[in-house]
Structure formats: structure tokens, C-alpha cells
A = this chain, B = another copy of it.
Amino acid sequence: MRKANAKERILNTAGKLFFRHGYSEVGINEIIAKAETAKASFYQHYPSKKALCEAWLSDVHYRSEVSRADLLDSDATPRGKIEIYFDQLKSFMEQSEFRGCPYSNTGAVSGGECTGIIEQIQGHKESIRGFLREVCFQHVSDKKKADTLGDRIFLLYSGATTESQNLKEIWPIEIARDAALELIN
């Protein structure tokens, strides 16, 4: 018996490969070879490569949502939560060699023909947006102001991720964090 069952091994291996090299650059043969499983085992658990990709994105979404919920319910100040959120992004980008957002990257590959993946991307982005709006609402307690403030921080966050990936540098995240913290004052 292996350390984990085949389905989990496939999902973990594919996740790493999709994230590092991009969905379209990774083949089924590479996934099953690195996961040390057989092609028949793969198709026993996932009907297609696209379904595996959706399972991966769903898994990432679940974990990130738990993390945001924890941060939202923590006893830090709203301002502190924003700071922590950007610092988490910073360490994520550093330790992932500036690979950026798995959702945006996957969406950039599939030019728009795959509806299932697009829906997951939009759900994930709206989740982050809602989180930032809620944090801001804890700060200003004015729904409308909190929404526009949260949206602006959301765009700073997204831009920081994108350009940190493009330029392979960390300063966009620091600039965005400073700008967000000034906005919330």
C-alpha cells in the first residue's frame, strides 16, 4: 500500500504541476508518471483532464476560503487583517517562485470556451472580493463605503499578484499593501 490512495496522489501531483507549469503545459502521462500510478487508475477517478483541473481548483478554493474565514473571525483589527492578508500573499509569492494566482493563470490559458472552469474562477474571485468588503465593513460600518473600499483593495491585491508574477519581484505587493493601509485610514 502506498502512503496515500491513488486519487489523492493524482490530485496532489497534478496540482503541483498545474500550478508550476500551467494547465496546458502538463499532460496526463506526466501526471501519472510523477504520481506513480497507472493511466487506468487515473480514468477510474477522473473522467477527463479538464475534470481533474476543476477538482484541483475546487480544492484550492476550499482551502483558501477556510483561511480567509479564519482571518475574518480572528481578533485582529480590520486594518491588521488587511496587513496580514497582504503579508500572506507576499510569502506565498516568494515560496512559489512568483507563479501568481492559479485561477487567473488557468483562465488565461483556456480562452473562454470552458464554462466550468470560468465559473470556478469567478466564484473564487467573488469570494476574495466579499472577504475584503466584509473586513472593510468591520472598519467603516457603512455598507456602501465599505464596498467601494473593499473593491479598491481587491484590485490592488489582484494587480500586486499579477505584476509580482510578471516582473518576478516582490515590491508590487509591498506597494499594494501600503496603498491599501492608507486607503483604509
| A interface residue numbers (CB < 8 A to B) | 20-22, 24-25, 97, 99-100, 103-105, 107-112, 118, 121-122, 125-126, 148, 151-152, 154-163, 165-168, 171-172, 175-176, 178-179, 183
Contact = CB atoms under 8 A, between A and B. Distances in A.
B111 A22 contact: yes
A109 B155 contact: no
B158 A162 contact: yes
Contact of A163 (B155, B171, B179): B155
Stoichiometry (number of copies): 2
Given A25-B24, A108-B109, A155 B172 contact: yes
Contact of A20 (B100, B111, B125): B111
Contacts of A160: 155, 159
Contacts of A97: 112
Contacts of A171: 151
A127 to B, nearest CB: 12
Contacts of A108: 22, 100, 104-105, 108-109, 165
Contact of A166 (B107, B111, B156, B175): B107
A161 B112 CA distance: 16
B162 A175 contact: no
Residue among A126, A156, A160, A178 with the highest chain B CB neighbour number at 10 A? A156
